[in-house]
A and B are shown apart, each in its own frame.
Chain A
Amino acid sequence: MREKLLEIRDLKVIYKTDEETVEAVNNIDLDLYKGESLGIVGETGAGKTTTALSIIRLLPYRVAKILSGEIIFNEQNLLELSEKDMRKIRGNNISMIFQDPMSSLNPVLTVEDQIAEVLRLHMDYGKEMIKKRVKEVLQLVGIPHDRMFEYPHQFSGGMKQRVGIAIALACDPDLLIADEPTTALDVTIQAQVLNMIDELQSRLKTSMILITHDLGVVAQTCDNVAIMYAGEIVESGTAKDIFEGERHHPYTEGLFGSIPNLDIDEKRLNPIQGVMPEPSMLPSGCRFHPRCPHCMDICIAESPQSKSFDGHHIKCHLFL
């Protein structure tokens, strides 16, 4: 029996500066079940990180605003919690791995201190117990525990991200949000770190949201996939739906066209034409229509509704 852990309904987030207002996330719905993993895929600026930061409510203060929606986590709406209650959840029930390990660790604190901090905040541990747990999680992520008194600058990029993962896993969270955890790393290290995350997630039975722009990464790690474009989820479903299904949103097809396929002898890639629109100047109707090879009159006039084929959702006029 699948048990729902996280349910996002109708989430709308805007960024407001002196110069302009930007719709970063526009009425999205997402579901995540216990023990499963969800990949959110999209280009830079599609609203993936905004979605993630909305869940732990760490959107840039003052600039970002959640206009509407619900984020139900373990049967409570996170958007209605007080800041104090939210703090009890951050790092404890929901934790996050950030994109850039180089800047995500505090340069003046030891690794031990930074891992122990999250334990001190949420666990009722004594000093010895904390130390023991720090060693445990370091071992979990493959860092020898005699390095725990070192500072971040003494670690390589991959090692720093392992520390970031250790911090995130220290309190055994129900939900782990990994925001492009390998993008900033060397290609050779990426697979290592990704395998580790994948392995830990299934071993610890943590639910995970993995944010990435790389479909290959999702294929390797995720049970479910959501494709984001210009602040909307254009297609979502199981990994099988996305990678083997017959029907696809044209954007998803475009994404697949951008990946070199070694099985088929192709002369060149088929990338999507054009660029993602500026979030401050979104097109009318379907947001993808200026780049869509199947664009119809209705696409320019009307934004499509999402249609479900047995849990495989596609938001496109082609399928309405």
Chain B
Amino acid sequence: MKRYIINRLLLLIPTILGVTFIIFTIMSLTPGDPGRIILGQGAEQADVDQFNRDLGLDRPFLVRYVTYVANAVRGDFGLSYRTGRPVYESIRNRFPFTVTLAFLGVLGSMIIGIPLGILSAVKQYSFWDILGSVSAMFLAAVPGFWLGLMLILFFSLRLGWLPSSGVGTYQHYIMPAITLAIPGAARILRLTRTTMLETIRTDYVRTARAKGAKERTVVWKHALRNALLPIVTSIGVSFAAALGGTVITEAVFALPGLGTLVITSIRMKDTPQVMAAVLLLSFLFMIIILLIDLTYGFIDPRIKSMYR
């Protein structure tokens, strides 16, 4: 197991470098030069050139990339074009908020999706199964931003129960978390249902029944643990969706997270800021994927024994 973990950690390094390279390449496709964007149309050409030289923008692409990575390792993601201050400063305060939100969203989708999926599968073709499948189908088609607006309309404006924007209390988290959770919950419900239906029909579940095990034991001990394997894998997809979804959710509820920072920075053409935020969220995503893979190794003895 130790070897497996070390293996996976080592694999993370080239992936991080690769992701950085891709984002860095995309960002350097920006037409026009940063000096002109920041100093404005009225600035002297000499000043603009000097500015670009100070930022090292006149050097070759690969040199700039290596410099960027070398600085980033030390926590220096460059200066914001807009404020002139290190971009890391504005990210530091917003990062935990966005991460919390994303975790709440994924947690919410699992809490809703997995039990309902099991229920649907165990009671296949029953009223609950049909209700579950139909609502999952429907909710998978609901865009997060619209769901958020509808929640505001109903719970904030009509009923006045929950605040429609901003942060402060736990109540501020409720609607954003639901907005993030619902699309994922729909997906997880459907996945749980199909994998449970498959495992319930396997030979080893029949063996368990032939032993005289109760239906509850059969479902929870024999079927679920096996069905859990693909579900655990799919949590990675949920996180990707949730981390991306925070951008939209934060915009709907006017929340001070990385998402709103990314949107404002895109409008202000503040490339270093966008790049740092996107990179950090991607790193987080990769670490989550790694953790999921490790969990998988613990649940599935076939993988566990491969690395013993």
B300 at the interface (CB under 8 A from A): yes
A42 at the interface (CB under 8 A from B): no
Query: Does B204 contact A90, Cβ atoms closer than 8 Å?
Result: no
A121 at the interface (CB under 8 A from B): yes
Q: How far is the CA of A91 from the CA of B305 in the complex (A)?
A: 30
- A 102-122 to B, binary, CB cutoff 8 A, 1 in contact else 0: 011111111000000110011
Q: How far is the CA of A75 from the CA of B222 in the complex (A)?
A: 33
A117-B211 contact, Cβ under 8 Å, with A153-B301, A153-B302: yes
A54 at the interface (CB under 8 A from B): no
A108-B226 contact, Cβ under 8 Å, with A98-B203, A103-B203, A103-B204: yes
Interface size on A, residues (CB 8 A): 30
Task: Return the chain B residue nearest A105 by Cβ.
Answer: B204
Query: Does B211 contact A121, Cβ atoms closer than 8 Å?
Result: yes
| Chain A residues whose C-beta falls within 8 Å of the C-beta of B202 in the assembled complex | 103
Q: Which of A118-138 contact B (CB under 8 A)?
A: 118, 121-122
| Chain A residues whose C-beta falls within 8 Å of the C-beta of B212 in the assembled complex | 87-92, 118, 121-122
Query: Does A106 contact B210, Cβ atoms closer than 8 Å?
Result: no
> How far in angstroms is the closest Cβ of chain B from A65?
16
A107-B210 contact, Cβ under 8 Å, with A153-B302, A153-B305, A154-B305: no
A106-B204 contact, Cβ under 8 Å, with A151-B302, A151-B305, A153-B302: yes
| Chain A residues whose C-beta falls within 8 Å of the C-beta of B226 in the assembled complex | 106-108
B64 at the interface (CB under 8 A from A): no
Task: Return the chain B residue nearest A113 by Cβ.
Answer: B221
| Chain B residues whose C-beta falls within 8 Å of the C-beta of A88 in the assembled complex | 212
A70 at the interface (CB under 8 A from B): no
- Tell me if B's interface is mostly helix, strand, loop or mixed: helix
Q: Per a CB cutoff under 8 Å, which of B203, B221, B225 touches A104?
A: B203
Query: Does A96 contact B301, Cβ atoms closer than 8 Å?
Result: no
A255 at the interface (CB under 8 A from B): no
Q: How far is the CA of A205 from the CA of B203 in the complex (A)?
A: 28
Query: Does B204 contact A107, Cβ atoms closer than 8 Å?
Result: yes
Q: How far is the CA of A109 from the CA of B210 in the complex (A)?
A: 16
Q: Which of B203-219 contact A (CB under 8 A)?
A: 203-214
> How far in angstroms is the closest Cβ of chain B from A159?
15
A56 at the interface (CB under 8 A from B): yes
> How far in angstroms is the closest Cβ of chain B from A54?
13
Q: How far is the CA of A98 from the CA of B305 in the complex (A)?
A: 26
Q: Per a CB cutoff under 8 Å, which of B209, B211, B302 touches A167?
A: B211
Interface size on B, residues (CB 8 A): 23
B241 at the interface (CB under 8 A from A): no
Q: How far is the CA of A96 from the CA of B210 in the complex (A)?
A: 7
Query: Does A106 contact B222, Cβ atoms closer than 8 Å?
Result: yes
Q: Per a CB cutoff under 8 Å, which of B211, B221, B225, B301 touches A90?
A: B211
B299 at the interface (CB under 8 A from A): yes
A58-B209 contact, Cβ under 8 Å, with A87-B214, A106-B204, A107-B204: yes
Query: Does B299 contact A56, Cβ atoms closer than 8 Å?
Result: no
- B 259-301 to A, binary, CB cutoff 8 A, 1 in contact else 0: 0000000000000000000000000000000000000000111
| Chain A residues whose C-beta falls within 8 Å of the C-beta of B204 in the assembled complex | 103-107
| Chain B residues whose C-beta falls within 8 Å of the C-beta of A151 in the assembled complex | 301-302, 305
**Residue of B125, B207, B214, B226 with most partner-chain A CB within 10 A:** B207
Task: Return the chain A residue nearest B301 by Cβ.
Answer: A151
Query: Does A95 contact B210, Cβ atoms closer than 8 Å?
Result: yes
> How far in angstroms is the closest Cβ of chain A from B232?
12
> How far in angstroms is the closest Cβ of chain A from B235?
18
> How far in angstroms is the closest Cβ of chain B from A23?
23
Query: Does A100 contact B301, Cβ atoms closer than 8 Å?
Result: no
Q: Which of B187-233 contact A (CB under 8 A)?
A: 202-214, 221-222, 225-226
Q: Which of A143-169 contact B (CB under 8 A)?
A: 151, 153-154, 164, 167
Q: Per a CB cutoff under 8 Å, which of B125, B206, B221, B300 touches A98?
A: B206
Q: How far is the CA of A167 from the CA of B301 in the complex (A)?
A: 20
> How far in angstroms is the closest Cβ of chain B from A91?
4
> How far in angstroms is the closest Cβ of chain B from A314?
33
Query: Does B210 contact A117, Cβ atoms closer than 8 Å?
Result: no
A108-B225 contact, Cβ under 8 Å, with A100-B203, A151-B301: yes
Q: How far is the CA of A91 from the CA of B301 in the complex (A)?
A: 26
Query: Does B207 contact A106, Cβ atoms closer than 8 Å?
Result: yes
| Chain A residues whose C-beta falls within 8 Å of the C-beta of B221 in the assembled complex | 109
> How far in angstroms is the closest Cβ of chain B from A246?
40
Query: Does A164 contact B213, Cβ atoms closer than 8 Å?
Result: no
Q: How far is the CA of A117 from the CA of B221 in the complex (A)?
A: 11
| Chain B residues whose C-beta falls within 8 Å of the C-beta of A91 in the assembled complex | 210-213
The 3 residue pairs across chains A and B that have the minimum distance between CB atoms: A91-B211, A90-B212, A91-B212
Instruction: Mark B residues whose CB is within 8 Å of A.
Output: 125, 202-214, 221-222, 225-226, 299-302, 305
**Other contacts beyond A104-B203, A108-B301, A109-B222: 6, CB < 8 A:** A58-B209, A98-B207, A103-B203, A110-B301, A151-B301, A151-B305
Q: List 13 A-B contacts (CB under 8 A).
A: A58-B209, A90-B210, A91-B213, A98-B207, A103-B202, A104-B206, A104-B207, A106-B204, A106-B207, A106-B222, A108-B299, A117-B211, A164-B207
